[in-house]
Homo-oligomer: A and B are copies of this chain.
Amino acid sequence: MNDAAPPEIVTAGLLVIGDEILSGRTKDKNIGYIAEYLTNIGVDLKEVRVVADEESAIIAALNALRHRYTYVFTTGGIGPTHDDITADSVAKAFGVSIDVDPRARALLLTRIAEKDLNEARLRMARLPAGADLILNKVSAAPGFRIGNVHVFAGVPAIMQAMLDEVAPTLKAGARMLSQTLRADLREGDIGSELGAIAKAHPEVTIGSYPFFDEKRGPNTNVVVRARDAERLAAAAAAVEEMLQRVRAAVSRTA
């Protein structure tokens, strides 16, 4: 069927940093965007954590994620004010010093007059030793990469521009393929049969998502996911055959 070596799995963790997300004042828009983006480029997002603007919380989460996944992405906390402590926390997590980076300072001066480059704005040029800049087309203030950790802004438009910048540098794994089958049945009608198919196709992930259909009422989407196209097709065919059988049985007893 497929004699090639199994495709490499490339994984990621996402760390969202910000009191305003945890208080509910700001509704996060980055998790869903990054999740979809990474899926599309063959990187498996395995875990997300949201933590407050507290150094110990950021360091603990960052160290847990960076040792566990191929890549880590962080959003938030790289602006000019006292509550922007991401760069300092990342430096501490890596055990390196932090200082104003001449490349980042020069970059800020392309958009900010020297007289306006006060202590607060200079905070945005402070980078952990050994970090690379992540540019973006929206603002002059850069993100940065150190080790496997990519530090992005929290403002969605800037975060998205930084992700575009970084994406071509990432190792891409085999892309996860997926197929959605609309059941036209309730989730509870197909649960046991779906479980049996999932067991018979261990290399395929089968998810079941109930939704409310204006016309039919409670309905279900079955999502079949795999990296291998043949395996995906085989599992999807088994699900489709089962759905037809259960639909016929349900309509007979209705």
- Residues from chain B with a CB closer than 8 A to the CB of A207 are 19-20, 53, 83
Partner of A35, one of B23, B45, B51: B23
Residue interface bits A157-178, CB-to-B below 8 A is 1, else 0 = 0000000000000000000101
Interface string of A41-82 (1 = CB under 8 A from B): 000111111111100010000000000000000000001111
Instruction: Give the shortest distance, in Å, between A79 (CB) and chain B (any CB).
Output: 6
**Contact flag A116-B188 (CB < 8 Å), given A81-B195, A207-B20, A223-B20:** yes
Residues of B within 8 A of A219 (CB): none
Given the interface pairs A22-B35, A48-B50, the reply to whether A83 lies near B119 with Cβ below 8 Å is no
Q: Which of A25-33, A99-107, A144-152, A229-237 contacts B (4 or more CB under 8 A)?
A: A25-33
Contact of A32 with B23 at beta-carbon distance under 8 Å, contacts A191-B80, A207-B53, A207-B83 already known: no
Please give, as numbers and ranges, the residues of chain B lying within 8 Å of A51 by CB-CB distance.
46-47
Q: Are A80's CB and B188's CB within 8 A?
A: yes
Q: Is the beta-carbon distance between A191 and B32 smaller than 8 angstroms?
A: no
Find chain B residues with CB under 8 A from A16 CB: 48
- The answer to whether B24 touches A79 (Cβ under 8 A) is no
Proximity bits, A183-220, B CB within 8 Å = 1, else 0: 00001111110110011000001111110000000000
Q: Does A248 contact B (CB under 8 A)?
A: no
Whether B21 pairs with A195 at a CB distance below 8 angstroms is no
In the docked arrangement, what's the CA distance between A127 and B177, Å? 34
A158 to chain B, nearest CB (A): 10
Q: State the Cβ distance, A252 to closest chain B Cβ, in Å.
A: 13
A96 interface residue per 8 A CB criterion: no
In the assembled complex, the Cα of A206 lies from the Cα of B195 at a distance in Å of 50
Q: How many copies does the complex hold?
A: 2
Q: Which of A49, A81, A84, A189 has the most CB of B within 10 A?
A: A81
- The interface residues of chain B lying within 8 Å CB-to-CB of A120 are 187-192, 195
Residues of B within 8 A of A25 (CB): 36, 178, 223
Asked whether B24 lies within 8 Å of A36 as measured between CB atoms, the reply is: yes
Give chain B nearest CB distance to A183 CB in angstroms: 11
Residue contact B48 to A35, C-beta cutoff 8 Å: no
Check if A118 sits within 8 Å of B83, measured CB to CB: no
Q: List 17 A-B contacts (CB under 8 A).
A: A19-B205, A20-B223, A23-B225, A24-B33, A24-B45, A25-B223, A47-B52, A47-B57, A49-B50, A79-B187, A81-B187, A83-B207, A84-B208, A116-B188, A120-B189, A120-B195, A121-B188
